């Protein structure tokens, strides 16, 4: 039994809004909730209604607001990338990291953390993560391309091999690092949204919009691709250019997410799967619902990351796994019971 | 009209398929016969440009590669032997994938989807999950999808079927092939079907092509191709050919 699409989208939208409000109004510093919201209104409208001190206003506008938006956009990007990759690989359990972009991005970031002085990492880590993520996925895509098209099996195997290689490389760099860098490396690898600022939010918003528009444009083709590549070709889909664009979009999305927030696993793997179970596999509805659901999951995870051990902070990657994995296992078990 | 000229394909295993000339004309059902490994499915893949080959395959006189992909999809449909779609679409959604190369409004689309599902006897499965269907039902759902894709063709469409009756019960086998014959007769479809059941070929095909070890060994009417000699020589089985009361030959 499927849930109707429009009510699902409305419920998800309302939950995202509620999550965003919670994320804005709650944190390590006690700030009245109403004034927190008014401060955002002030910033948007140029008014001065909120009764807040300067430092409180700064916490809302320069820390919580960018962080809230970044959490939503990164979650939405990761979920959309997951949905696209699962469609392309025709495997509902495929992960965006599977084509190697997460591993490749991690290599660039780790290298940047290791090589650049601590005061330069604000630009070197994102750039390194994005550049190597994109380069790795292009390399893997080239490796997997044969005479009669791209072999999904080789693409998957190449992704696994590159991930293993990247793991070894990161292990080696960690071994060489001193204590401070080792801590930075570990924290970055676990994922955090603490570095959110307006520049990162704008870039993430742009990537989110690009992915949403292009993937929705290819929704029918992605549906046809689920039948298999020969069948998609028989249905008039130009499969090779489609796959090339999908690989690039996912590389962009995941590379950007990794560079802005570190390795946040699980969102791209599980969110599309959950949405598919609730509202069916059609990409026209799957892609926007997965974006909303992914944004919501990361918002909630980030609120938890900030509040559970406040004023200390948990890496959000740990929480996404803690929140999503049991739910996912539950759904899998339910499905197993339903199908004889 | 689908025409093959000087088609050669060499597989890395050493298997070679050579077809100097083959034509499937509008209004005819052509059965492609042969033993396992004769090259029937390979021929079908080459005829639909699924696999690159030397030689030329032309659809309505124009090489396949010169057609725009969506335009070609509206004129050339291929029913695969089996599909391993692993996502829980409903049967109607799978059929509706056939709308991909078409540009129909939702009202027309709904009507045509219902028509093809009725024609393939799967209308009652519309809201069932595809993954819960039987093999035969899945095959008919895909047949409906392919028929939908060809439903708006401007020129006579070509329908290629890879063992369309392999998963069907006796009644459905005849219904599927009768539908192919009706489409050929009434709407000018050119149908090429790989068949293993020689009796079905005798009953429904207008022409037969017999493949053996990658070569076309004979072409002609079913009665000419499905002879006792040919069955003995290529299938290694000595058949009993009976003549039914209606005058039709039956292979036993």
Name the pLDDT band for A1 (thresholds 50, 70, 90). Answer: low
Output the pLDDT for position B126: 95
Output the pLDDT for position A328: 67
Output the pLDDT for position A30: 76
How far is A227 from chain B, CA to nearest CA, in Å? 5
Is the pLDDT assigned to residue A251 strictly greater than 50?
yes
CB of B82 less than 8 A from some CB of A: no
B100/A223 Cβ within 8 A: yes
Closest partner residue to A230 among B50, B73, B149, by Cβ?
B50
How much is the ipTM here?
0.93
Output the pLDDT for position A247: 82
How far is A221 from chain B, CA to nearest CA, in Å? 7
Range in A288-292, A301-305, B112-116 with the lowest mean pLDDT: A301-305
Domain range list for chain A = 5-338
Contact (Cβ atoms closer than 8 angstroms) between residue A283 and residue A223: yes
**Dihedral sign, Cα of residue A140, residue A142, residue A146, residue A151:** positive
What fold is seen in the domain B2-251? Rossmann fold (3.40.50)
Domain range list for chain B = 2-251
Mean pLDDT of chain A: 83
Measured between beta carbons, the chain B residues lying within 8 angstroms of A230 are: 45, 50, 78, 80
Better-scored residue on pLDDT, B105 or A315? B105
Q: Compute the average pLDDT of residues A201-226.
A: 94
Q: Which of B240, B67, B84, B242 is nearest to B154 (CA)?
A: B67
Taking residue B66's Cβ as centre, other Cβ atoms within 10 Å add up to: 9
Output the pLDDT for position A335: 61
How far is A205 from chain B, CA to nearest CA, in Å? 30
Name the pLDDT band for A91 (thresholds 50, 70, 90). Answer: confident
Beta bridge partner(s), residue B190: B158
Interface size between A and B, measured as CB pairs under 8 A: 72
Is the pLDDT assigned to residue B135 strictly greater than 80?
yes
What is the Rg, in whole angstroms, of the alpha carbon atoms belonging to chain B?
A: 18
Measured between beta carbons, the chain B residues lying within 8 angstroms of A221 are: 100
How far is A27 from chain B, CA to nearest CA, in Å? 41
Name the residue of chain B whose CA is nearest to A273's CA: B87
Name the pLDDT band for A334 (thresholds 50, 70, 90). Answer: low
Output the pLDDT for position A340: 46
Closest partner residue to A236 among B69, B87, B132, by Cβ?
B69
User: How far is the C-alpha of A230 from the C-alpha of B78, rounded, in Å?
Assistant: 9
pLDDT digits (tens, 9 = 90+) for A160-179: 888 889 889 988 988 888 88
pLDDT digits (tens, 9 = 90+) for B164-193: 999 899 999 999 999 999 999 999 999 999
Q: What DSSP string describes B33-83?
A: EE-TTSSHHHHHHHHTTSS--EEEEEETTEEGGGS-HHHHHHHEEEE-S--
Closest partner residue to A227 among B45, B83, B88, by Cβ?
B83
Name the pLDDT band for A90 (thresholds 50, 70, 90). Answer: confident
Better-scored residue on pLDDT, A18 or A180? A18
Class of A5-338 per CATH? Answer: mainly alpha
Q: Compute the average pLDDT of residues A224-236.
A: 92
Is the pLDDT assigned to residue A63 strictly greater than 90?
no
Better-scored residue on pLDDT, B169 or A258? B169
Q: Compute the average pLDDT of residues B25-29.
A: 95
Q: Which of B127, B22, B120, B35 is nearest to B79 (CA)?
A: B120
Output the pLDDT for position A299: 93
**Dihedral sign, Cα of residue A310, residue A11, residue A278, residue A216:** negative
Output the pLDDT for position A146: 61
Starting at the earlier edge strand, list the strands of the sheet with B29-34: B62-63, B54-59, B2-10, B16-24, B215-220, B207-212, B29-34, B190-194, B158-162, B76-79
Interface test with B, best of A87, A93, A235, A335 (most B CBs within 10 A): A235
CB of A223 less than 8 A from some CB of B: yes
Output the pLDDT for position A337: 62
Interface test with A, best of B74, B94, B100 (most A CBs within 10 A): B100
A147/B101 Cβ within 8 A: no
Range in A204-208, B14-18, B47-51 with the lowest mean pLDDT: B47-51
Is the pLDDT assigned to residue B213 strictly greater than 80?
yes
Q: Does an H or E element contain B251, and which? A: strand B249-251
Is the pLDDT assigned to residue A67 strictly greater than 50?
yes
How far is A151 from chain B, CA to nearest CA, in Å? 14
Range in A133-142, A246-255, A278-287, B224-233 with the lowest mean pLDDT: A133-142
User: How far is the C-alpha of B29 from the C-alpha of B186, rounded, in Å?
Assistant: 12
Helix axis angle, A267-279 relative to A283-307, nearest 10°? 130
pLDDT digits (tens, 9 = 90+) for B54-75: 889 999 999 999 999 999 999 9
Mean pLDDT of chain B: 92
Contact (Cβ atoms closer than 8 angstroms) between residue B70 and residue B23: no
**Dihedral sign, Cα of residue B23, residue B31, residue B7, residue B48:** positive
Output the pLDDT for position A151: 64
Output the pLDDT for position A140: 76
Output the pLDDT for position A147: 52
Closest partner residue to A220 among B78, B100, B132, by Cβ?
B100
Better-scored residue on pLDDT, B5 or A187? B5
């Amino acid at each position: 039994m499927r849930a109707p699409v429009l009510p699902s989208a409305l419920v998800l939208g309302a939950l995202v809004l509620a999550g965003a409000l919670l994320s804005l109004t709650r944190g390590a510093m006690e700030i009245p909730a109403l004034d927190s919201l008014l401060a955002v209104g002030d910033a948007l409208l140029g008014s001065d209604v909120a009764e807040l001190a300067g430092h409180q206003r700064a916490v809302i506008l320069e820390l919580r607001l960018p962080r809230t938006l970044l959490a939503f956009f990164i979650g939405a990007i990761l979920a959309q990338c997951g949905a696209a990759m699962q469609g392309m690989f025709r495997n509902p359990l495929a992960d965006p990291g599977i084509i190697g972009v997460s591993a490749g991005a991690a290599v660039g970031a780790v290298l940047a953390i290791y090589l650049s002085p601590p005061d330069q990492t604000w630009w070197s880590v994102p750039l390194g993560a994005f550049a190597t993520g994109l380069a790795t996925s292009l390399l893997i895509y080239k490796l997997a391309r044969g005479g009669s098209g791209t072999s999904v099996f080789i693409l998957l195997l190449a992704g696994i091999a590159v991930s293993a290689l990247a793991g070894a490389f990161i292990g080696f760099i960690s071994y060489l690092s001193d204590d401070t860098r080792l801590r930075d490396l570990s924290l970055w690898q676990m994922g955090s949204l603490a570095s959110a600022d307006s520049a990162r939010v704008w870039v993430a918003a742009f990537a989110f919009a690009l992915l949403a528009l292009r993937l929705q444009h290819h929704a029918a083709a992605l549906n046809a691709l689920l039948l298999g590549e020969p069948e998609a070709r028989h249905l008039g889909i130009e499969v090779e250019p489609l796959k090339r664009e999908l690989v690039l979009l996912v590389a962009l999305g995941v590379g950007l997410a990794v560079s802005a927030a570190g390795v946040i696993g699980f969102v791209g793997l599980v969110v599309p799967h959950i949405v598919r179970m609730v509202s069916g596999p059609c990409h026209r509805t799957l892609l926007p619902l997965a974006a909303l659901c992914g944004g919501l999951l990361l918002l909630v995870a980030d609120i938890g990351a900030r509040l559970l051990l406040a004023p200390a902070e948990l890496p959000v990657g740990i929480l996404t796994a803690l929140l999503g994995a049991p739910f996912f296992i539950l759904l899998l078990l339910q499905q197993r019971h339903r199908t004889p | 009209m689908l025409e093959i000229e000087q088609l050669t394909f060499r597989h890395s295993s050493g298997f070679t398929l050579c077809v100097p000339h083959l034509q499937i004309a509008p209004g005819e059902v052509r059965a492609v016969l042969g033993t396992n490994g004769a090259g029937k499915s390979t021929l079908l893949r080459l005829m639909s440009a699924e696999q690159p080959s030397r030689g030329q395959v032309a659809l309505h006189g124009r090489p396949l590669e010169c057609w725009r992909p969506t335009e070609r999809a509206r004129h050339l449909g291929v029913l695969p032997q089996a599909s391993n779609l692993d996502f829980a679409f409903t049967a109607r959604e799978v059929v509706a994938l056939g709308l991909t190369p078409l540009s129909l409004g939702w009202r027309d689309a709904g009507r045509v989807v219902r028509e093809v599902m009725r024609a393939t006897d799967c209308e009652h499965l519309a809201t069932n999950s595809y993954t819960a269907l039987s093999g035969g039902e899945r095959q008919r759902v895909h047949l409906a999808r392919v028929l939908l894709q060809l439903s708006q063709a401007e020129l006579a469409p070509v329908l290629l079927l890879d063992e369309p009756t392999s998963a069907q019960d006796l009644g459905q086998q005849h219904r599927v092939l009768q539908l192919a014959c009706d489409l050929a007769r009434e709407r000018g479809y050119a149908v090429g079907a790989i068949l293993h059941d020689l009796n079905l070929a005798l009953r429904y095909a207008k022409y037969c092509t017999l493949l053996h070890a990658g070569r076309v060994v004979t072409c002609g009417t079913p009665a000419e191709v499905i002879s006792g000699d040919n069955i003995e020589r290529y299938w290694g089985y000595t058949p009993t050919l009976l003549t039914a009361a209606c005058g039709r030959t039956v292979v036993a």
